């Protein structure tokens, strides 16, 4: 079962507070990228041949024209050097990657900063696919809005179940879009991972996740035409409704079928968002 669920959610998650901001360029190790690596461009192959045809530089003896055996001692030293650099880079990279994906352990805790420096931002990864346990809850993210009407009054809409909407869009869809499958789900996880239980944001990411979630709500309320013809969304409120996935009928296991809610405070919309202009 490799669908990623928990896994992906954590992508760029771990980068959160622990990860240093601007990375000081490490002088030392370079992943296989290093110096002499890049060659063999898409371009040259026949250049080489063309060149060979024009000015035949090779000696007519039966020596092989490629490979280490065809190199003189000086060049062989260069090749040996390249081999050593690549070998070291490969070993270090694999070691770092291993420590990054392995559970926190003696070594990885001791060198956590070095590992983070090597891995982030481009080699971050999480392969706990449906592990250690698959998610066993359906989390529905819902929203309601306070609409300002032109006559100065206001009204509050009912709850829109946006996850249910996503679910309907995914039903019978052979290739669900990331906007249906990941957008709201991961935005909600992002919010949870950057807020404490009293909905107070933690760090820069907390603030970012709030703006992000709010903008998704505004976009989707706009699509549902929640504000009506000449109304304007003034505030939004988000809540989640969590229910247990019923255990298989043959297991005889029982879980509570009561939904658990988490209700966030009302959020005031900035002027530009109130007028709608997202997505």
Partner 1 sequence: MNRPSMAVSRAIARVADSALAPYQTAVLRIGFGLTWLLFLLREYPHRQELYGPDSPWSWDLAAQLVGSNDAFTVLLWSDSQVWFEAVYALAVLFSLLLLLGWRTRTMAALFMVGVLTLQNRSVFMGDGGDNVLHIMAVYLVFTRCGQVWSLDARRARRAEQARARGERTRDRVGPALWAVLGLVLLLGSLAGRTDGDWFIPALLWAVWLGQAVWWLAGRLARTDQPRILLDVVANVVHNGALLVIMAEACLIYATAGWYKVQGSRWQDGTAVHYPLHLEYFSPWPSLAELLTASGTLVMLVTYVTVVVQVAFPFTLFNRRVKNVLLSFMILEHAVIAVVLGLPFFSLAMIAADAVFLPTSFLRRTGRLAARARERLRPRGEAAPVPPRRRPDGAPAGPPAVAPAEAAPVTGRVPGPRT
> CB of 265: closest distance to partner 1 in angstroms?
20
Q: Binding partner 1 by CB under 8 A: which of 112, 149, 163, 199? A: 163
Q: Which is nearer to partner 1, 202 or 208 (CB)?
A: 208
d(C-alpha 28, C-alpha 114), whole Å: 11
- What track of x and - describes contact with partner 1 for positions 66 through 85 (by CB under 8 A)? xxxxxxx--x--xx--xx--
When asked if residue 236 is in the footprint of partner 1 (CB under 8 A), the reply is no
Q: Binding partner 1 by CB under 8 A: which of 108, 115, 143, 190? A: 190
Restricting to residues 104-133, name those near partner 1 by CB under 8 A: 120-133
When asked if residue 28 is in the footprint of partner 1 (CB under 8 A), the reply is no
When asked if residue 47 is in the footprint of partner 1 (CB under 8 A), the reply is yes
Q: Binding partner 1 by CB under 8 A: which of 111, 114, 164, 267? A: 164
> CB of 150: closest distance to partner 1 in angstroms?
26
> CB of 178: closest distance to partner 1 in angstroms?
5
Q: Which is nearer to partner 1, 136 or 156 (CB)?
A: 136
Q: Binding partner 1 by CB under 8 A: which of 18, 107, 109, 170? A: 170
Q: Binding partner 1 by CB under 8 A: which of 115, 142, 148, 186? A: 186
């Amino acid at each position: 079962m490799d669908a990623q669920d928990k896994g992906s959610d954590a992508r760029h998650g771990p980068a959160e507070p622990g990860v240093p901001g601007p990375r000081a360029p490490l002088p030392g190790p370079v992943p296989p990228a290093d110096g002499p690596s890049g060659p063999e461009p898409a371009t040259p192959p026949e250049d080489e041949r063309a060149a060979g045809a024009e000015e035949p530089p090779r000696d007519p003896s039966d020596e092989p024209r490629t490979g280490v055996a065809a190199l003189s001692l000086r060049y062989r030293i260069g090749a040996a050097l390249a081999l050593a650099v690549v070998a070291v880079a490969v070993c270090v990279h694999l070691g770092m990657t291993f420590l990054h994906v392995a559970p926190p352990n003696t070594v990885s805790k001791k060198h956590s900063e070095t590992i983070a420096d090597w891995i982030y931002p481009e080699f971050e990864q999480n392969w706990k696919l449906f592990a250690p346990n698959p998610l066993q809850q359906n989390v529905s993210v819902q929203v309601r809005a306070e609409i300002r009407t032109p006559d100065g009054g206001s009204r509050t809409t009912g709850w829109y179940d946006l996850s249910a909407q996503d679910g309907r869009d995914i039903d019978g869809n052979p290739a669900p879009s990331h906007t249906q499958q990941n957008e709201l789900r991961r935005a909600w996880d992002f919010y949870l991972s950057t807020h404490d239980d009293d909905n107070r944001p933690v760090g820069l990411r907390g603030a970012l996740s709030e703006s992000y979630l709010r903008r998704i709500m505004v976009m989707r309320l706009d699509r549902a035409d929640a504000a009506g013809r000449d109304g304007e969304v003034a505030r939004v409120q988000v809540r989640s409704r969590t229910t247990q996935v019923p255990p298989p009928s043959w297991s005889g296991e029982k879980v509570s079928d009561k939904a658990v809610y988490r209700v966030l405070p009302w959020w005031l919309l900035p002027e530009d968002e109130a007028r709608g202009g997202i997505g």
